[in-house]
């Protein structure tokens, strides 16, 4: 494998890794925040009878 | 003949060319399995001794007995958080194309990273001090562990994915991957800060 | 003056909404968290601008365009902080009015505002090609350092408001009560 091909495959590797981890992070923390907001809303609704 | 050569080298080629992907996906899976299985509980129970020990260190003793010192460190923790946040926002906004479109992205990213590292060092050192002072309390708070999870994710993400990726020629990277990295980074660091704030409320 | 402030605070305190906000664990904490977390946007941008002027960050971006660009997110953050800050004051009016730290913070905010105004004026008036220099002219650097100091002090005071070291309720008559503006025989804290 020459240097050029290696560089390209490194970049492909980095991009795939970034996509996989990036998507996991976004999904995990969006779910986390949605759950937090939902539970706060429910508690407030219970407290004030909305 | 050439086909068979390519086939015989392909497993090594796949591993070699996707080493970072395979390592990161494996790590993510390990963390997720750990977080949602009973393994977490076992480790958590074992860590209790360590948290008790933290309170007996100098940091722990000062943090527990001298309220003013704790408060000052806390204020500097917040100031460093602001600095770190500034660096994250500037870099990620540049990646999203919202700021400095006329300045080469690499320039903005490199300089922002320097500020980020300074902020991170101060945040970590003040954070460790504070954690020692309230170790016996935070041990019991789920939000503290979520914060540690987010913090570890953030640090690993920045140093093993974001920096190596963005060190490359940005034009060669797919634009949506760049944007995804920016959104993930913003989300992680905002979560680290927010869960940190919640530790204070959850303990009172 | 202290009496007037106290009476105003007591009046705010009598509002139902103030009590509701104060007593709602979740609502109060969300407002408080937003206030604190916006530091990352508002002060984050401000610190970077100040550090740029002092030649400590982003030396390759022209200083004036750096400041003008980051001003926008900074002001957005600042508006959020003022808005949430007013809510926090409204939730705990009496104790805040009589907090030494709150009072110091208030004057520091005024000082920071004057400094920001002068800083901006000096930046516009600065002549020549200073913007591409690593360090801004001395007068701007002084403004930047003052801004850093003022805002650091503001954050420290803000954090200290949460501590009850000098509360009227727990102190004896003396200097701290004088500075806090405690009223003789007050029953509401």
Among positive and negative, which fits the CA dihedral B49, B50, B52, B53?
A: positive
> CA C170 → CA C98, C163, C167, distances in Å?
12, 12, 6
B16 and B46 share one domain: no
From chain A, the residues in CB contact with B13 under 8 A are 1
Map B119-163 to HEC letters: HHHHHHHHHHHHHHHCHHHHCCCHHHHHHHHHHHHHHHHHHHHHH
Report yes or no: C142 at the B interface, CB cutoff 8 Å.
no
Q: Cα(A8)–Cα(A5) distance, rounded to whole angstroms?
A: 5
- The answer to whether position C185 is within a domain reads no
Contact C27 A43 (CB under 8 A): no
Q: Which comes out higher in pLDDT, residue C112 or B101?
A: C112
Q: Cα(B141)–Cα(B161) distance, rounded to whole angstroms?
A: 30
- The answer to whether position C186 is within a domain reads no
Q: What is the pLDDT of residue B5?
A: 46
B94 and B191 share one domain: yes
d(CA C27, nearest CA chain A) in Å: 8
The alpha carbon of C21 is separated from its chain's Cα centroid by a whole number of angstroms, namely 21
Whether C120 contacts C68, CB under 8 Å: no
Size of interface B-C (CB pairs under 8 A): 99
Least confident segment among B175-179, C12-16, C47-51, C84-88: C12-16
Nearest CB to A26; choose among B28, B174, B183: B183
Contact B89 C58 (CB under 8 A): no
- In A, what residues contact B, Cβ < 8 A? 1, 9-26, 29-30, 32-33
Other Cβ atoms less than 10 A from the Cβ of B53: the count is: 12
Q: Cα(C160)–Cα(B203) distance, rounded to whole angstroms?
A: 18
Among A35, A37, A40, A42, pick the best mutation site for testing chain C contact (most C Cβ within 10 A): A40
What's the pLDDT tens digit per position in C47-81? 999 999 999 999 988 898 899 999 999 999 999 99
Q: What is the pLDDT of residue A26?
A: 95
Q: Which of B194, B182, B197, B196 is nearest to B88 (CA)?
A: B182
B54 and B154 share one domain: yes
What's the pLDDT tens digit per position in C17-55? 998 888 888 888 889 999 999 999 999 999 999 999 999
- Supply the range of the domain harboring residue B13: 1-36
At residue A20, the 3 state secondary structure works out as helix
- The answer to whether position C45 is within a domain reads yes
B107 and B7 share one domain: no
What's the pLDDT tens digit per position in C95-104? 899 999 999 9
Q: How many domains does chain B have?
A: 2
Contact C58 B78 (CB under 8 A): no
- The answer to whether position C113 is within a domain reads yes
B8 and B57 share one domain: no
- Supply the range of the domain harboring residue C77: 2-180
Whether B87 contacts C56, CB under 8 Å: no
d(CA C160, nearest CA chain B) in Å: 7
From chain A, the residues in CB contact with B173 under 8 A are 11, 15
Other Cβ atoms less than 10 A from the Cβ of C7: the count is: 12
Contact C33 B197 (CB under 8 A): yes
Which parts of chain B register pLDDT below 70? 1-16, 203-204
pLDDT band at C185 (very low <50, low <70, confident <90, very high): confident
What's the pLDDT tens digit per position in C131-167? 888 888 899 999 999 999 999 999 999 999 988 888 8
Q: Cα(B88)–Cα(C44) distance, rounded to whole angstroms?
A: 9
From chain C, the residues in CB contact with A43 under 8 A are 26
Annotate C53-62 with b (16+ C-beta within 10 A) or e (fewer). Answer: bbebbbeebb
Contact C47 B86 (CB under 8 A): yes
What's the pLDDT tens digit per position in A1-45? 567 777 777 888 889 999 999 999 999 999 999 998 898 888 888
Written as six digits, the tokens of C66 are: 């750096």
Written as six digits, the tokens of B108 are: 């903005």
Q: Cα(C72)–Cα(B4) distance, rounded to whole angstroms?
A: 60
Size of interface A-B (CB pairs under 8 A): 74
Q: Cα(B43)–Cα(C165) distance, rounded to whole angstroms?
A: 39
List the alpha helices (DSSP H) in chain C: 2-13, 16-23, 25-37, 39-53, 63-91, 93-97, 100-125, 138-161, 175-180
- Inform me whether the pLDDT recorded for C14 exceeds 80: yes
B127 and B148 share one domain: yes
Whether C105 contacts C15, CB under 8 Å: no
Q: What is the pLDDT of residue B65?
A: 87
Q: What is the pLDDT of residue B15?
A: 67
- The answer to whether position C107 is within a domain reads yes
B27 and B93 share one domain: no
Q: Which of B133, B114, B122, B128 is nearest to B78 (CA)?
A: B122
From chain B, the residues in CB contact with A24 under 8 A are 28
Contact A47 C24 (CB under 8 A): yes
B19 and B76 share one domain: no
């Amino acid at each position: 494998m020459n240097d050029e091909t290696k560089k390209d495959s490194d970049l492909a590797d980095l991009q795939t890794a970034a996509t996989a981890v990036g998507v996991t992070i976004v999904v995990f923390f969006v779910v986390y925040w949605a759950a937090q907001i939902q539970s706060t809303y429910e508690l407030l609704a219970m407290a004030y009878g909305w | 003949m050439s086909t068979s050569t390519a086939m015989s080298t392909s497993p090594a080629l796949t591993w070699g060319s996707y080493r970072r992907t395979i390592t990161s996906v494996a790590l993510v899976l390990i963390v997720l399995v750990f977080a949602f299985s009973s393994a977490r509980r076992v480790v958590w129970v074992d860590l209790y001794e360590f948290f008790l020990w933290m309170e007996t260190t100098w940091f722990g003793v000062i943090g527990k007995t001298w309220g003013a010192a704790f408060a000052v460190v806390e204020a500097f923790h917040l100031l460093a958080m602001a600095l770190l946040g500034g660096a994250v926002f500037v870099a990620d906004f540049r990646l999203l194309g919202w700021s400095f479109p006329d300045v080469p992205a690499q320039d903005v990213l490199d300089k922002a990273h320097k500020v980020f590292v300074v902020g991170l060092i101060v945040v970590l050192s003040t954070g460790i001090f504070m954690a020692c002072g309230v170790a016996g309390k935070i041990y019991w708070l789920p939000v503290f562990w979520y914060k540690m999870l987010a913090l570890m994710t953030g640090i690993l993400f920045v140093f093993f994915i974001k920096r190596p990726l963005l060190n490359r020629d940005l034009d060669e990277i797919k634009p949506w991957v760049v944007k995804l990295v920016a959104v993930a980074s913003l989300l992680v660091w905002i979560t680290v800060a927010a869960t940190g704030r919640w530790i204070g409320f959850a303990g009172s | 003056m202290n009496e007037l402030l106290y009476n105003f605070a007591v009046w705010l305190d009598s509002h139902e909404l103030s009590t509701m906000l104060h007593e709602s664990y979740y609502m109060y904490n969300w407002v408080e968290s937003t206030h604190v977390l916006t530091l990352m946007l508002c002060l984050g941008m401000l610190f970077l601008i100040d550090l740029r002027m002092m030649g400590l960050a982003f030396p390759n971006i022209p200083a004036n365009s750096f400041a003008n660009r980051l001003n926008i997110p900074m002001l957005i953050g600042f508006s959020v902080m003022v808005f949430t800050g007013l809510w926090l004051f409204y939730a705990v009016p009496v104790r805040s009015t009589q907090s030494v730290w709150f009072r110091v913070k208030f004057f520091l905010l005024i000082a920071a505002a004057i400094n920001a105004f002068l800083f901006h004026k000096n930046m516009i008036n600065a002549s020549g090609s200073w913007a591409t220099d690593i360090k801004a002219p001395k007068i701007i650097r002084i403004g930047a350092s003052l801004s850093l100091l003022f805002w650091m002090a503001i954050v420290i005071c803000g954090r200290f408001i949460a501590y009850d070291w000098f509360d009227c309720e727990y102190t004896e008559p003396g200097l701290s009560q004088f500075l806090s503006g405690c009223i003789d025989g007050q029953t509401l804290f």
